[in-house]
Structure 1
Amino acid sequence: MSDPQGPTVRRRRLGSELRRLRDLAGLRLEDVAKVLECSTSKISRIETGQGLAKALELRAMLDLYGVTDEDARLVINDIHRRASESGWWEQDEYEAVLPSGLGVYVGLEYDARLVQSWELSWVTGLLQTPDYARAVMSSSRVGQSDEVDRLVDVRIERQKRLTASSDPLELWAVMDESVFRRPIGGPDVVRNQIRHILELAELPNVNVQVCPLSKGMHPGLRGSFSILEFGPADPRVVYVEAPSGNLFVERDSQVRAFRSSYTALTAIALDPSESAALLQRVAKEK
């Protein structure tokens, strides 16, 4: 089991390995919970990477699963140690304002190799200017300017991966034309936002496509989503943000369905050069 890059993916990889070892040992969640004297939900959270076992608990789990090979135990313990590290998004000043589920997403995004996003309502977060991001966030946090400022800081920090000197994040962003027709923050903010997107689209790791209103009905009208891709050993994850709660989709059949929808969206959207031309026309109209 190789070591992935960051704490979020490390926790998920560790949890997946512990689940595999439990299955090989023929044990149920209840069996492990009884030995560790904890709830089955805690074991489930550990196995899904949403929680992290303490060092003593990990040792007890490896003993229970019959892992006696010292090299294998060293690798697992090393990943556990690295998974215990905190990401910048887990600092108190950020963690206190991040909506439920978003902290997990930021961690996954930090470790991702590629993000493919479809946005129906507003500009993809990784491409937002501070003024545009502030306008979006202020709509749901009226009178909470300090929280909005910290959320904007999180968004700007996330964007640094696009311009990293080594292994920058690849972003393929497809957005509905209505995103740019909607005057979020006012005409000047939208105009500057479009210019910012056009600049970032010049980067070799950033692709931007716009789905024109003339296309009518298409799969993207069901809602926005992002597909995150990691290393070859880690499964893709789909993130769906909704008013009723954020959803992480990992089941292969469901991920394939989202990938099929995304492929359809890239096919009906304007190509990058046509998209840039459309955005330039929209900016002139503001």
Structure 2
Amino acid sequence: MVASLRSRWLGQQMRDLRDDRGLTLRYVAVQVGFEYADVKAFEHGERVLHHAQVTALLDAYGVYEQRVRDRLLSLARDAFRLSRWEDDFYAPDLDVSMLDNLWLESIAERVSCYGATLVPDLLRVSGYVEAVVHRDFGPAVVEEQVRWWVRAIRDRQERFDGEPAGLRVVVTESVLHRPVGGNGDAARLQLAHLGKAADRGQMRVLPSRAAYVSGMDASFTVFGLPQPYPRTVASTSHVHDAAVHEGQAAQSYASVFDKLWAAALPASESAALITELM
């Protein structure tokens, strides 16, 4: 089993609760009737426990503050299974890292995306999504799966409809010119959508004349997370999986994004450039 970020973070928080109370793993295992090896593996993120089992541990640690219990039990449910993404018949078999990426996006207070080659998911229109899916998966993909991707990406975008300040996107100027397939209307609608995002202050275009910034070669996303999670986590996506970066690596990506945001055209100039291409 590949340990997910969700299970590792849950295990770490539960281990901290146990350590704060001076309890040993063996004592806890006996008290709640679990195998010692299972509790140890759980704290290392290598085993996922059911909701009822995590509840039993919280009771053993005397954690009764409702806000804390609700947060940890919610994380336990998410570590066990992300039903939103895993229970749809037409959903692809998403890699653990991709599921972690989706989860991070759902809890983040701010999401900052840099698109070096393509428009990031959170600003794609349906026609653009369809074209990219057909290119990524080839002739084997069925239309039900294409529709799943369109629906899934739109669902992810909805949370930012009412809170535009929670999303910042930088795309290179070359992204605006890059054909991905589909018909001409899809390209026009995608540009129009980017123009509206620029008008809202969500998106900027990094012009071709901009000086090189170390780290700008590939697309990435930076997540600003609420407490008690790490303040900054980043991810780099590939075709069918993603890599999650924590600690200093995440801070480096955040620094690169801030430099790219500053180097990009202001919102009004970005919108004007997009309008010229339509």
Matched residue type, 2:64: D
Following superposition, the deviation at residue 128 of structure 1 comes to 0.4
Secondary structure in structure 1 of the residue aligned to 2:137: coil
Q: Structure 1 residues 244, 189: CA separation in 2 closer, same or farther (over 3 Å shift)?
A: closer
Equivalent residues in 2 for 1:197-208, closer than 5 Å: 197-203=194-200, 206-208=201-203
Equivalent residues in 2 for 1:3-42, closer than 5 Å: 14-24=10-20, 25=22, 35-38=35-38, 41-42=41-42
Aligned to 2:263: 268
Query: Which structure 2 residue ranges, 5 or more long, are not aligned?
Result: none
Residue 105 in structure 1 maps to residue 101 in structure 2: yes
Residue 132 in structure 1 maps to residue 128 in structure 2: yes
Matched residue type, 1:71: Y
Aligned to 2:223: 228
Query: Which structure 1 residue ranges, 5 or more long, are not aligned?
Result: 1-7
Contact 2:125/2:193, CA 8 A, preserved across alignment: yes
Residue 59 in structure 1 maps to residue 51 in structure 2: no
Equivalent residues in 2 for 1:234-253, closer than 5 Å: 234-235=229-230, 236-242=232-238, 245-251=241-247, 253=248
Matched residue type, 1:136: V
Secondary structure in structure 2 of the residue aligned to 1:214: coil
Equivalent residues in 2 for 1:160-175, closer than 5 Å: 160-164=158-162, 170-175=166-171
- Distance (Å, rounded) in 2 between the aligned partners of 1:112 and 1:275: 26
CA RMSD after TM alignment: 3.5
Following superposition, the deviation at residue 121 of structure 1 comes to 1.1
- Distance (Å, rounded) in 2 between the aligned partners of 1:128 and 1:110: 17
Aligned to 2:174: 178
Matched residue type, 1:269: A
Query: In the TM superposition, what whole-angstrom CA distance separates every residue of 1:155-183 from its partner, at most 9, and x where no partner exists?
Result: 1111111213xx56611100111111111
Matched residue type, 2:177: R
> 1:82 aligned to 74, 77, 88, which one?
74
Query: In the TM superposition, what whole-angstrom CA distance separates every residue of 1:237-259 from its partner, at most 9, and x where no partner exists?
Result: 111113584111121x2222111
Q: Structure 1 residues 195, 28: CA separation in 2 closer, same or farther (over 3 Å shift)?
A: same
Query: In the TM superposition, what whole-angstrom CA distance separates every residue of 1:78-121 from its partner, at most 9, and x where no partner exists?
Result: 43443427553343336544454222222221222211111111
Contact 2:109/2:223, CA 8 A, preserved across alignment: yes
| Alignment length (residue pairs) | 262
Aligned to 1:45: 45
> 1:218 aligned to 210, 213, 216, which one?
213
Contact 1:9/1:111, CA 8 A, preserved across alignment: no
Matched residue type, 2:145: E
Following superposition, the deviation at residue 40 of structure 1 comes to 5.4
Query: In the TM superposition, what whole-angstrom CA distance separates every residue of 1:45-78 from its partner, at most 9, and x where no partner exists?
Result: 26xxx94454235535874xxx3x3535x65544
Query: In the TM superposition, what whole-angstrom CA distance separates every residue of 1:240-280 from its partner, at most 9, and x where no partner exists?
Result: 113584111121x2222111111111122111111111111
Aligned to 2:145: 147
Aligned to 2:87: 91
- Distance (Å, rounded) in 2 between the aligned partners of 1:147 and 1:169: 31
Following superposition, the deviation at residue 38 of structure 1 comes to 3.0
